[in-house]
Every structure is written in structure tokens, then in C-alpha cells.
Amino acid sequence: MSRGTALVTGASSGIGEAAAVRLKNAGFTVYAAARRVERMTALADAGVHVLKMDVTDDKSMVAGVKQIVADTGRIDVLVNNAGYGSYGAVEDVAMSEARYQFEVNVFGLARLSQLVVPHMREQRSGRIINISSIGGRMYEPLGGWYHATKFAVEGLSDSMRMELRPFGVKVVVIEPAGIRTEWSGIAAENLRKASAGSAYAEQAEHVGAFLDLAESPAVTSSSDVVAKKIVKAATVGHPRTRYPVGKGAGSILFTRWLLPARAFDAVMSSMYGLAKVLAKRLARPTGR
């Protein structure tokens, strides 16, 4: 018996792809949405329905939700996973890029939520699971625009949770840290491009090295770790408001809670200095 219908965005790779598989295995009828449907062949073969959807294109979101409701009559779980990281100093990043990151990470999430909420309210049940980041509760140099989007997701989710509770709709935030996906590579590439030849080039070397560490299993977790937590948030009777997940997530958030801002600044600065050294060591061959 099906648990209901789930829609997962950003499902062509990484966390979204893993979540679609896990939700399917948990008994949901799953619709996996992404811009690159050609990359979702494996999902289709596994029995997941694939949709071409761009969260910056309103028509594609409207059409996708209409198709799901026409096919199944309902939407029980929305996993707002689509997003990316654009790094660089606030001074260096073009405003067009800053606005686009908000379009993807915040406004796309909000608009898709607007489209599914009426169906959930009518059902008097539903789960909206927003993929934020520990970056929605802490900060780092050269990540201002990315952190701004995730802080926005956190605040938006809190307000939505209170608004929708009387209608039986639960809103949950997932806060990954250090997950091996395309995200870190995209963030590092954007950082180096934005900082090349700028006054922030030296800082970018350290932050870029830290982002590069996300490719190492020694300090990061797999996408499946997050997918498991998404399934828990979708199925447990009384989900928590937030689920930090991934190596170091709890420790980093506890440190941020414990320390005053200037002390946390010092901790983060030292971490990025060590990241450059560690990245070089991990890149060395282990044998002769």
C-alpha cells in the first residue's frame, strides 16, 4: 500500500536522487523533478516518475504539480531540494548572480510550496521538507550570498510551520553539512571565478581548499545519509522542526550557539587556514 505521493526537486543527482530512491523504497509514489531529465534514466528504471522542472520557470512548476494531481489525486510530501552554492566576496559577486541564487534557493522553493499547499490543506495533511544547510545557522567568509539564501529558507520555514500547523501540514528543515555532491565543486568553481585577481584572492585560496575537502570521504558524508533523514522526516508521526545531518553538523552548530560572534570568527578563520594544509595532505599519494 502506498504511503502517498512525494515530489522531490533537484533530483538529477546527489541528495535529490538519493531521496527519490529512498522514498520510493519506503512506499511512496515518487515524482523526481529536475531540469536535466536525461540524467534521471536510472530513477525511471527504478519506478520513479521523472518530470522536467526548473524552479526558476513558473510554467514548468505549475504544469508539474497539475500533472501529479491529475495522476494521483494528491501530494503528500514536497522535498524542496533544488539549490546551489555561489561563493565569492559580496563586493565581487555580480548582482545578477546574487539574484539568481535567491531565485533558485529561495523563491523557487517558496513558489512550489505555494502550488502544493492548497492540495495539502484540502487533504488536512502533508509534509513540506525544505533542504537548508548548517549554513542557514552559521556563516563563513566569501559565502555571504549563499548563506543569505539559507538564512532566508530557515526563517521562511519557521513562519510556514506555524501558518500551516492548523491545517495538519508539517514543515521540516533538513540541515546538511559536508555532503559529497556536485554542490561543493560548483561552489568552489564560482568562488575562484569571482575572486580571480581580486582583493580577496588570498582568502579564496583558503575557502576554496575547504570546499575541496567535501570531495574527501574522510571528512564528509554520502548523500544517502541525508536521504535517510528525509525519509524519517516524511514518515515519523511527530517530526522535529530541524534535522542537522552529516559529519560535524551537530558540533559546528553547537559551537556557533556557544560562542559569541567574534570568537566564532576566530574559530572559522583557523579552520580555513588548516583546510589548505589538510587538502594538500589528502591529495598526496598514500604509497610509493
Question: Among all residues, which ones are annotated catalytic?
Answer: 146
* Rg (alpha carbons) of the chain, rounded to whole number: 19
C-alpha torsion sign, points 40, 189, 139, 177: positive
Distance from C-alpha of 127 to C-alpha of 230, rounded to nearest angstrom: 11
Distance from C-alpha of 198 to C-alpha of 119, rounded to nearest angstrom: 49
42 burial type by CB count under 10 A (0-12 exposed, 13-18 middle, 19+ buried): exposed
- CB neighbours (10 Å) of residue 35? 17
Contact 234, 127 (CB under 8 A): yes
Q: What's the grid cell of residue 251? A: 558540533
Contact 5, 77 (CB under 8 A): yes
Q: What's the grid cell of residue 39? A: 540524467
* Residues found in the chain: 288
